[in-house]
Amino acid sequence: MQQVYFDNAATTPIRSEVIEVISQVMKTNYGNASSSHSFGRSSKVLIEKARKTIAGYLNCTAGEIVFTSGGTEADNLVLRSAVRDLNVKHIVTSKVEHHAVLHTVQALDKEYGIQISYVNLDANGDVDYLHLETLLDTEEKTLVSLMHVNNEIGNILDIKQVADLCNKYDALFHSDAVQSLGHYKLDLQEVKVDFLAASAHKFQGPKGVGFVYVRKDSGLKPLIFGGEQERGLRAGTESVHHIAGMEMAIKLAYDNLEQEQTYVQHLKTYFIEAIKKVIPDVQFNGQSANSEQSIYTILNLRLPSSKVDASMMLFQLDLKGIACSRGSACQSGSSQKSHVLSEILDAEALEKPSLRFSFSIFNTKAEVDYVVDVLKTFTAN
């Protein structure tokens, strides 16, 4: 039986070069980066080198990069401090955001009584930019939180258009870029976001580390209190080996971006063409089959069969050695349907099994052929 991993939107395999860096740092750079002796200083040098490297790829200053445990912590830091410390009274978001944003916003509503507005979406799950502008036309201090790439259907937000609208109406803009960092170039001098969240394990780096971009002089305050690490914005001893591993992962991702992007996009296109040949009635959710409007790593398809629901289909695929998902891994234990698909599909379409396949440079056409052959059995008479 083959083993095929098509769940890269949940997490990616770590590159061998990244593992080597992590292992080496764990062996030789075990000093606490806050210590003043040589062991601590050597760790501090690695952290600041990584900060500078990441800032270079994003065209921002090193001081605007704050290391966190991942995207969820980054989202919480931005949203909570915006309400608590920056006098934000109104948050504009969408109903297809990651739960790290949605659940945090809902908690802030209960705690602070803020106003929450959800921007309209079209039938494909894309943001209605005209409606967004009407929501921004308010006297209340507003923060917009919209993800750059949707983690379930792959839709790409026009992040520059949103940033320009926020600038026009003097609103703050936060983007969860967990699915896009390492897969697309972002120039933060051109795209004027105020805050941006990223996570290393989405671009062949280690789990448990990420960062938040915090525009200089934003006034953001810490979520976690203790020491003065991360310029006072994130207390706690830094995980040096994780940070060094993330630096190597983002370096490899961006230095090889064009070549690897082309390879994975071809693989996704090959999957679409192959599945349409054997299952002509297959449908694709959101913009995931549109190479211009969706990320090249995610394909969310809907099979015509109602004989088996998506959870049972995942179980059957797992028995065949195939890893994919119904949507976000963070809610995989839930019996509820995808909140993203529930927003864009009608009741009849929701009854059909939808599956998310997500790709990386480690996948092959032979794996696609195997998966398509297995999927064909679910719709055979």
Burial 12-34, CB ≥16 within 10 A → b, else e: bebbeebeebbeebeeebebebe
Residue 324 appears among annotated catalytic residues = no
Instruction: Output phi, psi for 176, to 5 deg.
Output: -80, 105
Q: Which residues pair with 302 in a beta bridge?
A: 283, 354
CA gap 320, 370 in Å, rounded: 10
Residue 286 contacts by C-beta under 8 Å, 6 or more apart in sequence? 124, 125, 150, 152, 153, 154, 155, 294, 300, 340, 344
Q: What single-letter amino acid sits at 322? A: I
User: Quick one: which of 182, 177, 130, 187 has its CA closest to 157?
Assistant: 177
Beta strands in 215-338 (DSSP E): 283-284, 298-302, 322-323
Of 60, 166, 324, 330, which residue is the catalytic one?
A: 330
CB atoms within 10 A of CB 52: 14
CA gap 92, 119 in Å, rounded: 7
Can you say how many angstroms the Cα of residue 136 is from the centroid of all Cα atoms in its chain? 25
Instruction: Output phi, psi for 221, to 5 deg.
Output: -115, 160
CB atoms within 10 A of CB 57: 20
Residue with tokens 């750079």: 29
Catalytic residue numbers, as ranges:
330
